[in-house]
Structure 1
Amino acid sequence: MSDMDHMLTEAAARLTAGGLVAFPTETVYGLGADAENPAAVARIYAAKGRPSGHPIIVHVAPEADLAYWTGTLPPEARALIQAFWPGPLTLILPRAPHIPDAVSGGQDSIGLRCPSHPVAQALLRRFASLKPGGQGGVAAPSANKFGQVSPTHAAHVRSEFPELGPDALLVLEGGPSQVGIESTIVDVSRIGKGVGPVLLRPGHVTAAQIAAVLGREPARPDASAPRASGTLKAHYAPRTPLQILPRRDILRMADEHRKGRIAVVAFSAPDAPPGPDVDWISGARDPEAYARELYALLRHLDEQAYSGIVLEQPPALPEWQAVNDRIGRAAAAFR
């Protein structure tokens, strides 16, 4: 038995016993527990300091019987699953009555996702094989304290929960997350009630890609939309104060800055050298590369004792929507 196979066996056993397992996905690392065990799900909330009304996404294996988790799977959901699963897309669906509402923040909906990362899939399959009927699902928000920067490496998870030793939290290694930001969330739970697909959280799967499958753009969130993971105004924040500025304001600030050492993440170098207390860092010009590097960069900068972090405002273009969403919520924590 290989080391990974041994770890997967132990991880599945931990989940079955109601314990916590952190595991890699293509988006970020998740903090997982048995989705059908309210006491285990409560351990996620306690470890993260997560409000009890904030729902958690349930991860399922590729061959999962979705009818076990939801009573209704509309044609729009089937089309999106066919196009984007396994992958970084979460669907909000009506929750089957026998599934505890601990994962949905008390709502009658449920968020379901099938990740593409091979370690995540192996864990989900191993866990499902131990569950009656083979329908195990793992509830897993990002493996970080609530509202903080999501982890994209196993080391990030360990540093985030120093109070949880290996007996309390098993961390599976899976390399760096390839997407780097959380999944796109689309609400299809109200289609039978006359409400079309709604984009609750942008991500790697774009609104344009969704429209290409469904033949219409997903709507913006409305007042009656279900609560969903990572959609609070302030979220994804580093400990260091962060702000987003257009380039002209950054150049002026860098020239005038005299109070403490700051980090500036910009798309190109300044024409003149910045001041001695300004560290200029090049950010990726491609939105997918920027997203992949974002959280690891914020965590690194958090460790450097800066008095502030400044990000150059990315373009207001559809392909930058997910990045702008994440950094906007991160900056909102300091307003």
Structure 2
Amino acid sequence: MNTQRLTAGQTGQAAELLRRGGLLGIPTETVYGLGADGLNPQAVAHIFEAKGRPQDNPLILHIPTADWLERYCADIPPAAYALAERFWPGPLTMILKRKPIVPDAVTAGLDTVGMRCPAHPVCRAIIAAADRPVAAPSGNTSGRPSPTNMADMLEDMDGKIDGIVDGGPCTVGVESTIIDLTEQPPRLLRPGGVTLEELEQALGEVAVDPAVTRLMGAGEQPRAPGMKYRHYAPKAPVTVVRGTPADAARYIRRHLDDKDGVICFNEFVPLFEGHPVEPIGPKDDPAEQARRVFDALRYFDGTDVVHIWAQCPDPEGIGLAVSNRLNKAAGFHIVDAAKKN
């Protein structure tokens, strides 16, 4: 298959590709997505084939405006419109009851569906021109780090999909926050660009699903993408070290072997001279860390490192999303530096 490279100005051509049942790489503010017509089960099935994605992992439907919610969702609570007013377009996915028009291929057979209105104007223009909701997970091979630019997505998907639209680098860098509004209190299923603290300000009490901080069991069914399986992982195994930045850096330095690599905050790069190091931003700038964490994980696939150590931000604000992605990349292999130093 020849993967077409489309520019941000070719929204009509991109929309026609979706209407024909094709697979399209689409830019969003979070990560690049692998999109298909969300009402076409055959097109959606091709997403799973291209990614090597487990069939029980549900997808998110992307729409251009909040008024599309009623097309695909039933029993929409007032909280959904309140969140849409505050955070859409933006990096927030809401789990709602689905209507029968949404195929099982999107929802993994669940009676709910994840809905998002992305902030990237090119993405919304393509969806509106196609006049279809776009089902789209991240545009990487399943389990690998998500792509935050066109080149990263092509590394995984060139020749497997019909086209990709170059919308520039992603500004958020981690996937959307997912909040389940079918439960009371609402439940955070995946942290992302809209923080837990912001959701609590808007909704009051918000429960945090255990899968945010641990692996799901083999018999548990994920209610949203990114919950069950090992995700975001480079080829080399990862160990996350949490604690104060200084404690974590000292722990890594003491345990670093010759063939190891390091993901660290900018301030600690000199400590690991002689090793492959990928900085993810200043220790007090979790938003920059979010933009760079997937690039850092992908970087090591081009090296011969046998193990990767990663400093981890505090789980506050968007730092919760960064730590979640690193922990999943590590298969929740986590060391607490404060207890080890």
Structural RMSD (CA): 2.4
Superposition deviation, residue 23 in structure 1: 0.6
Superposition deviation, residue 317 in structure 1: 3.2
Q: Distance in 2 between matches of 1:274 and 1:112?
A: 43
Question: Is the alpha carbon distance of 1:253 and 1:140 closer, same or farther for their aligned partners in structure 2, counting shifts above 3 Å?
Answer: closer
**2:190 match:** 201
**Greater Rg over alpha carbons, structure:** 1
Superposition deviation, residue 22 in structure 1: 0.5
Superposition deviation, residue 242 in structure 1: 1.4
Kept after mapping to 2: 8 A contact 1:107/1:226: no
Bigger Cα displacement from structure 2, 22-31 vs 251-260:
251-260
**2:215 match:** none
Structural mapping, 1:1-335, within 5 Å: 4=7, 7-62=10-65, 64-128=67-131, 136-164=132-160, 168-190=161-183, 195-214=184-203, 216-221=204-209, 227-232=223-228, 234-246=230-242, 247-248=246-247, 250-255=249-254, 257-269=256-268, 273-274=271-272, 276-277=274-275, 279=277, 281=279, 283-285=281-283, 286-332=285-331
Report Cα offsets for 1:127-150 as digits up to 9, x if no partner: 01xxxxxxx100000000111100
Report Cα offsets for 1:161-194 as digits up to 9, x if no partner: 2442xxx42000000000000000000124xxxx
Report Cα offsets for 1:201-229 as digits up to 9, x if no partner: 11111111112112x12112279996101
Bigger Cα displacement from structure 2, 95-104 vs 109-118:
95-104
Q: Distance in 2 between matches of 1:32 and 1:280?
A: 30
Q: Give 3-state SS (helix, strand or coil) of 1:306's partner.
A: coil
Kept after mapping to 1: 8 A contact 2:280/2:289: no
Question: Is the alpha carbon distance of 1:261 and 1:318 closer, same or farther for their aligned partners in structure 2, counting shifts above 3 Å?
Answer: closer
Kept after mapping to 2: 8 A contact 1:59/1:113: yes
Q: Distance in 1 between matches of 2:8 and 2:231?
A: 35
Q: Give 3-state SS (helix, strand or coil) of 1:91's partner.
A: strand
Structure 2: where are the runs of 5+ without partners? Answer: 1-5, 212-219, 335-341
Q: Distance in 1 between matches of 2:330 and 2:318?
A: 20
Superposition deviation, residue 277 in structure 1: 4.0
Q: Give 3-state SS (helix, strand or coil) of 2:228's partner.
A: coil
Kept after mapping to 1: 8 A contact 2:66/2:117: no
Query: Amino acid of the residue matched to residue 282 of structure 2?
Result: A
Kept after mapping to 2: 8 A contact 1:263/1:301: no
Q: Distance in 1 between matches of 2:273 and 2:69?
A: 57
Q: Distance in 1 between matches of 2:137 and 2:113?
A: 13
Question: Is the alpha carbon distance of 1:5 and 1:119 closer, same or farther for their aligned partners in structure 2, counting shifts above 3 Å?
Answer: closer
Q: Distance in 2 between matches of 1:105 and 1:264?
A: 35
Kept after mapping to 2: 8 A contact 1:243/1:309: yes
Q: Distance in 1 between matches of 2:66 and 2:275?
A: 54
Kept after mapping to 1: 8 A contact 2:95/2:179: yes
Kept after mapping to 1: 8 A contact 2:26/2:35: yes
Kept after mapping to 2: 8 A contact 1:208/1:217: no
Question: What TM-score results when the alignment is normalised by the length of structure 1?
Answer: 0.87
Superposition deviation, residue 67 in structure 1: 1.1
**1:132 match:** none
Query: Amino acid of the residue matched to residue 325 of structure 1?
Result: N
Q: Distance in 2 between matches of 1:287 and 1:7?
A: 34
Q: Give 3-state SS (helix, strand or coil) of 2:114's partner.
A: strand
Q: Give 3-state SS (helix, strand or coil) of 1:296's partner.
A: helix
Q: Distance in 2 between matches of 1:4 and 1:28?
A: 17
Query: Amino acid of the residue matched to residue 217 of structure 1?
Result: E
**2:214 match:** none
Question: Is the alpha carbon distance of 1:5 and 1:309 closer, same or farther for their aligned partners in structure 2, counting shifts above 3 Å?
Answer: closer
Superposition deviation, residue 11 in structure 1: 1.3
Question: Is the alpha carbon distance of 1:264 and 1:73 closer, same or farther for their aligned partners in structure 2, counting shifts above 3 Å?
Answer: closer
Superposition deviation, residue 245 in structure 1: 1.7
Query: Amino acid of the residue matched to residue 93 of structure 1?
Result: L
Q: Distance in 2 between matches of 1:70 and 1:256?
A: 51
Structure 1: where are the runs of 5+ without partners? Answer: 129-135
Q: Give 3-state SS (helix, strand or coil) of 1:269's partner.
A: helix
Q: Distance in 2 between matches of 1:98 and 1:252?
A: 53
Question: Is the alpha carbon distance of 1:252 and 1:32 closer, same or farther for their aligned partners in structure 2, counting shifts above 3 Å?
Answer: closer
